[in-house]
Amino acid sequence: MNTLLYMYMYMYMFYFLFLLSCVFFIFFLYFLINDMVYFFEFLIFDLNSNLISLFFLFDWMSLLFMFIVLMISSMLMLYSNDYMNNDIGKFRFVYLLFLFIFSMMFLIMCPNLFTILIGWDGLGLISYCLVIYFQNYKAYNAGMLTSLTNRIGDVALLISIAFMLNMGGWNFFFYLDFLFINKLFFIMILIASMTKSAQIPFSSWLPAAMAAPTPVSALVHSSTLVTAGIYLLIRFYSYFFSNYKFMFFMMVIGCLTMLMAGLGANFEMDFKKIIALSTLSQLGLMVSIISLGYEKLAFFHLLTHAMFKSLLFLCAGVFIHSMLNFQDIRLSGGFNLYFSLMNFNISSLSLSGMPFLAGFYSKDLIMELMMINNINLLIFFFFFISWFNYYMFFSINMIYFNKFYSIFNY
């Protein structure tokens, strides 16, 4: 009876999230065609002149991002129905995933810094619970590293909220033109974004968070937690683009993150950590694109990256199960999982910018606009974007041609 309940619970969540994502997609098309922006305010508490209200922003960007998050989440629920089949804590796992998605919704839809803090802290706390899900020493250490690193960003966001007290409200969307005089406010926003998106020097928590279950890794490291900082930078891009020093700093940080992650992935043998470091490299690329003033292009790359990176993690989970839960890529090879291998190849080629796949269109646009701008760092970007994807071809080589295939030949 309990098994049937758990199975139906996953399927109900899958149908609910999938239908909700379709609704968001329809609204996105309607808002985009009609060039509409809606603000909704819900009063929660009112006492004399003091009030607490929830403020929601609906525009094409927030609706499209919510569609991607909910679509990937629905597919993960369907995947978890089989992947977490023998786990004793299925009910807790579904609750945590649902709370994670709910926190992300607060972060995406709210233009109010105080409400963003609720989603921001929710992401940090629930990610800690998901990283320590398997309850061993390695997972506990990884969870503590993740939680403590993200606390730095939480403090920076709290300080930025304090700077907005003089504005008479926390709806930053209305005060962007007046906040230009307060550089400390934007420094705090930048630090908060760097911690959440694992930019140097806050990069150590992202590979450590691979102690979480694979469906969590596919959700957290593709379209939710790590992209929250990028999304915040996109919302505040108007100030960063007007300040040369901020732009130069973001460019340097993004390039260093790409360099570190690309080199580190070439020497890594843990299957999930290789994909995590490739995520880190792409996050550095997004920060660099924002520093050039192409915030919509960064958002486009964020969406394409979310789709093929979640598919990479799901394929990695299938391979790890086939290797009796070993994550060392040197033990892989000889899989008879043709559908999973095909999807892994497609997503790896998309990550590498193979023509006519999703990753090609965003990366080709990035290279084209950099050539138009005549920036001096063009050759470095060329290496970062193309050459440092060598680790994905190394992974494909190990999966197909490794000599350990006789051990795990399923």
pLDDT of residue 4: 64
- Gap between the Cα atoms of 89 and 192, Å rounded: 32
How many CB atoms sit inside 10 A of residue 128's CB? 21
Residue 293's φ and ψ, nearest 5 degrees, are: 95, 10
pLDDT of residue 410: 47
CB within 8 A of 3, min separation 6: which ones?
none
What residue type is assigned to position 5 of the chain? L
Residue 273's nearest CA partner among 214, 322, 219, 354 is: 214
Q: What is the pLDDT along the chain (410 residues), one digit of tens a residue?
A: 455 666 678 788 888 889 999 999 999 999 999 888 888 888 777 776 667 778 888 888 889 999 999 998 888 888 888 877 777 777 788 888 888 888 888 888 888 888 888 888 888 888 888 888 887 888 888 888 888 888 888 888 888 888 877 776 667 666 666 666 677 888 888 888 889 888 888 888 888 888 788 888 888 877 788 888 888 888 888 777 777 888 888 888 888 888 888 888 888 888 888 888 888 888 888 888 888 888 889 899 999 988 888 888 888 888 888 777 777 777 777 777 788 888 888 888 888 888 888 888 888 888 888 778 777 766 666 666 655 677 777 777 777 776 655 454 54
- Angstrom CA distances, 50 to 45, 158, 168, 169, 195, stand at 8, 20, 12, 12, 33
Q: Where are the domains of the chain?
A: 243-410
pLDDT of residue 405: 52
pLDDT of residue 26: 93
With tokens 């819900």, the residue in question is 42
How many CB atoms sit inside 10 A of residue 42's CB? 8
Cα dihedral 60, 280, 259, 399 sign: negative
